[in-house]
Chains A and B, each alone.
Chain A
Amino acid sequence: MWPWSRQTRLNKTSQQSDAQKPGPHIKAGAARLTHSLNDTQSVLRSISGVDTALLKQLISQTSALNQELNALTQELNPHTSLDQFTGDIEAVYQRLQSGVGQSPDIIIRRFLMGDKAKIPAVLTFVDGLTDTQMIDQDTIMLAQQYDHAFTRHHDPQTIHQVVHDLVTASGHVTTETSWNKLMVKLMGGNTILFLSGSSTALVIDTVKYRARSLTTPTTERSVLGPQEAFNEVVLTQMNLLRMRIKSPNLRFDSLTIGEMSHTTVIVAHIEGLTNPELVAAVKRKLSVAKMATLNIGQELTPLLASRYHSLFPQVRRTERPDVVARELTMGKVAILVDNTPFAMVVPNTLADFYQTLEDYTMSFWGASLERLVRFLGLILGLLLPPLYIALTSVNPELLPTKLVITIAGSRVGLPLPPVMEVLTMWAIIEILREASLRLPKELSNTLGTVGAIVVGTAIVKAGIVSPLMIVIITLTALGLFTSPNYEMATPWRVLFWFLIALSYLFGLFGIILGLLAILAHLASLENFGVPYLSPFGPYRWRDLKDTFVRFPESSLTKRPAYLQPLDVTQSSHWHVDPMPHPQLGQAQKEEQHG
């Protein structure tokens, strides 16, 4: 690392503060600090004639700090670090009460454990994130009533083991000694049980997620496919995948990202199928993530994309568990992020963004037709307005004479050149689209239709654009959204301008140069070593069978070549028909006669 970078400096200071942490002189220092704080507090109380609200806030904050420091000093002893829990139950209670306990959603409960032994214990949990029934009945009640082991051999350091083994009735109980880790667990919805004398606390899994129920996918709809979408809870996401892939080889590797948010990130893959190099690459790329919070999975895409500044999406996001399951079985890696209902799948090629699960739910005829229509939509959406400019302004000689006369006739008296027509109409369309996206659902439909029709008719009547332009721009607006993936529409919407400019300058020649440049850019992209333009460049004959058209299932027996999975064969025995002519009549006859 660069020796004078900010990062290094930060590291240094944090190291220094770490070094100073334990030690006897702290206690004296802290006491002095408390003292002075008390003084300041009293001084502040006596001040008048200033902003009272500000003062009150200051006072309350300092008193809170005071409390916290008091609790700390009480617990401090020269042999342990602050992070280490000591087993002094009163100190723990104070520390909790003055720290996290100040927010109302943290519940701290003191009770005595054992009917006869009466060991003091403290239990804390976050109200709302936990299952209170589990705490009440399966922990507190059992602990209070328990009455065997304590009386006979009462060693405070092993008591947590006894509770773990014999008392609590929850499924998942772990132990922890570090205060910082305990706090993170607490915030995650676990219940922490401190027992007097034991320096190890019990972490009882009482997590209860407040989750949205599973709904139908809204961004990727399907007619004949499953109708289930992810919700925000990563556990549910994993469950939905497990339901589809019951193989024990489906692995979920967990990471935590975000120094403040501690967001769970799951890397899902199938052992023995997914290329291990790919899994390692994904994990390594994610492990360097350093961010305060990870709120949405999208924030990870810069880490996962090889050239983040590219217009084209390289990480596919989907809310459909069936899509993720399919991609996993093809040999890709999925990344699930807590609180994000979209799973991310890597690596991807351009062609992947034009495939949907829908294509595999119908016959290959229908699927191929849909693929071709999507391709046509892309071509029309991207090229129609540039072609209009090129063919009406720069190279009209390519059109049939009759069409030219028609276009020339429709343009008589129009004040604006075709470029301005396109720009005007495109601006209108984009505004309408954005507005209908932001409006409430009920209004947006009306606005979209009414806006398009009214504005379209009016602008033609006003003589600003020609009627042909309305047709072209409508086709464009619709064409770009035939892409099954919403993200894939954005790059084309931007490149559209690039092509407009080129067609204005050079006509058809410009359009071809522009397309070549786009192709060159696509060819230079790589995602986890997978060429983005595959299977067109480099050619991969096996994968070409699932691009513009979808070949029948019987010829798609291999997994995609570009993923280089460990196991290539996906399906076989398509040509074996074990029972070509079932003798239905014979069976019926035999049944009737015998």
Chain B
Amino acid sequence: MGNRRRWWRITVVAVMTALLTWSLTGCWDDKSLDTRTLVLAMGFYPARQPGQIAVYFAIPTPAGLTSDSGSSSSGGASGPPIIILKGVGHSIGQAFSAAQASTNRDLYLGHTIFLLFSTKLSPKALRRLVNALDRIGTLDKTPFVAATSAPFASVMGTIPQEHFPPLYYEELFSCTTCQQLMLGVRFWEMSDRLWTPGVDLVLPLLRPTKQGPAVDEVALYRGTRYVMTLTPKETAAYAIAAGLSRKTSIFFPRLWDTNLDFVADKAHVATRIMHGRLQATLAIHATATLESIATPTETAAQVAAISQKAAALLADQAVSFVRLSQRHDVDALGFGRSLAWSAPAIFSRYRHWHQIYPHLNVSVRAAITINRLGDVR
């Protein structure tokens, strides 16, 4: 009895020891931060070779890290805060391996906070990229996404206000009070739009300028095909139509020199069959601050006149954008999606929503509430 028990105990101890040693041999995922290279941003461009893509990785340098954290131990290290690695291949994996070859540390995607897609990417490449990125488990699905026609290095060029450009973009897009138009699109929203029929992709377009990056344009896609870039004015109209406006200001020189500020709106899209015909409505509801007016105090009649005028203006803008999008056949507002969700049977009858959309009858309603008088936020 005792003998058996002793043997049992010895076996257990031996097995446990073996297991412990075995488990300690590989450090598996235990890689401390200093052995990882944080990829803060990735850029996707067509490569020179046909059918291949070039992937850029923006990574912080040790010098950038120490000067950012303000730790005194390493003194004032100098050098650029980030460097850019490039990998070329048929897929992300190949490009990743190629880039990995040029650094001695593990490229780590867990902190990628910004993804940049070139507008020159082919539709096929873009679809493949999005699917591949979606499969990478370690890659977070919340980074912000943008399109650009400029090279990656110039977009990631120095920005006066921020040490690390990817952080600048991340904060810019996630800040609700610091943008005129809420143009930020997260990666999961992008893939969601690509998977859902009846709605098309719109990405903010980054344009590096001397003063820093300009974010006042958007790129429209049909499916994964890049169609066009809207001008800043058209972008403002898009934002109003899509309910993304936050700080638009409207000036009426003829109407007591009135200035309406902080126009923020919500838009609601509905598509349904009425009397056997497809009928879409776009309802916009905005709030605004009456910032300045020629008279010292405003009367109720003045406010009514101003809001009427402003609503008409918003409706005009929205209509102009809807016409533009129908002309280019890009359903950026999701009229088709609305139909697909409210009447899936009818939507499935259309083979291609893009054949229907240009001829869709859209009516636009707009209303504005002036709810603040003269506060500057």
Measured CB to CB, the residues of A under 8 A from B are 389, 392-397, 401-402, 404-414, 417-419, 460, 463, 467, 504-507
Contacts and interface: CB of A to CB of B under 8 A. Distances in A.
Contacts of B38: 404-405, 408
Interface stretch (B23-31, B122-130, B332-340): B23-31
B69 interface: yes
A21 B375 CA distance: 109
Given A397-B110, A404-B38, A405-B65, A505 B28 contact: yes
B167 interface: yes
Nearest to B77: A412
B68 interface: yes
Contact of B69 (A392, A393, A409): A409
18 contacts: A392-B33, A393-B30, A396-B36, A396-B108, A396-B111, A401-B113, A404-B33, A404-B38, A404-B111, A405-B60, A405-B65, A407-B69, A411-B32, A412-B74, A413-B66, A413-B73, A419-B30, A463-B73
A408 B30 contact: no
A406 B33 contact: no
B28 A401 contact: no
A370 to B, nearest CB: 36
A412 B28 contact: no
B32 A418 contact: yes
A22 to B, nearest CB: 42
Nearest to A421: B32
B62 A412 contact: yes
Contacts of B36: 396
B355 interface: no
B26 to A, nearest CB: 9
B71 A467 contact: yes
A406 B167 CA distance: 13
Contacts of B65: 405, 408-409, 412
Name the residue among A412, A417, A463 with the largest chain B CB count within 10 angstroms. Answer: A412
Contacts of A393: 29-33
A410 B23 contact: no
B73 A411 contact: no
Nearest to B69: A409
B74 to A, nearest CB: 6
B189 interface: no
B40 interface: yes
Contacts of B74: 412-413
A414 B34 contact: yes
Contacts of A406: 68-69
B134 interface: no
A460 B71 CA distance: 11
B291 interface: no
Interface string B3-47: 000000000000000000001100011111110101010000000
B316 interface: no
Contacts of A417: 30, 32
B164 interface: yes
A410 B69 contact: yes
Nearest to B113: A401
Contacts of B23: 505
Contacts of B111: 396-397, 401, 404
Given A401-B111, A401-B167, A408 B28 contact: no
B33 A505 contact: no
A392 B33 CA distance: 6
A408 B33 contact: yes
Name the residue among B33, B40, B110 with the largest chain A CB count within 10 angstroms. Answer: B33
Query: Top 5 closest A-B pairs, CB basis?
Result: A409-B69, A397-B110, A409-B65, A417-B32, A408-B33
Interface string B41-84: 00000000000000000001010011111110110000000000
Interface in B102-151: 108, 110-111, 113, 138, 140
Contacts of A409: 65-71
Nearest to A406: B69
B170 interface: yes
A397 B71 contact: no
Contacts of A402: 167
Given A405-B167, A410-B69, 16 more contacts: A395-B29, A396-B33, A401-B113, A401-B167, A402-B167, A405-B69, A406-B69, A408-B33, A408-B34, A409-B70, A412-B34, A412-B62, A412-B65, A460-B73, A505-B24, A506-B29
Contacts of B71: 409-410, 412, 467
A397 B34 contact: no
Contacts of B24: 505
Contacts of B140: 397
Contacts of A389: 30
B142 to A, nearest CB: 11
A408 to B, nearest CB: 5
